[in-house]
Amino acid sequence: MQFFPLVDFQHWILAIFLGFILLILVYLAFGSHGRRTEGAAERDEREILFGEEPVKEAMPPILIVVFLGAILFALGYFILIGIKGPPF
């Protein structure tokens, strides 16, 4: 139980805001990544049929940054809460 009721509301708004920003970043990452045309798909099909390895597209760099940021935040959070403990 919080001493001030607005603190819970602030946490909800912060969580929604950060989630919204994460969704925007993921959308931008996939939107900026090159799309394959029909010609490229046919070329890949021929390469597969004749035994050549198709070229795999790399993951967008912004997604790698987002994933690493989430992992670092989680590790930092667990370390901070483990050392400091809960606020109440």
| pLDDT tens digits, 29-68 | 777 666 655 576 777 777 777 766 656 677 778 788 888 9
Report the distance separating Cα 2 and Cα 88, nearest Å.
9
List C-alpha distances in Å: 79 to 17, 65, 66, 72: 24, 21, 20, 11
pLDDT of residue 22: 83
Are the C-beta atoms of residues 29 and 62 closer than 8 Å to each other?
Answer: yes
Determine phi and psi for 56, rounding to 5 degrees.
-95, 135
Per-residue pLDDT, averaged over 12-24, amounts to 87
Q: pTM of the full predicted structure?
A: 0.43
Q: What is the mean pLDDT of the chain?
A: 76
The proportion of the chain whose per-residue pLDDT surpasses 90, expressed as a percent, equals 5
Q: Is the predicted pLDDT of residue 27 greater than 60, yes or no?
A: yes
Are the C-beta atoms of residues 62 and 32 closer than 8 Å to each other?
Answer: yes
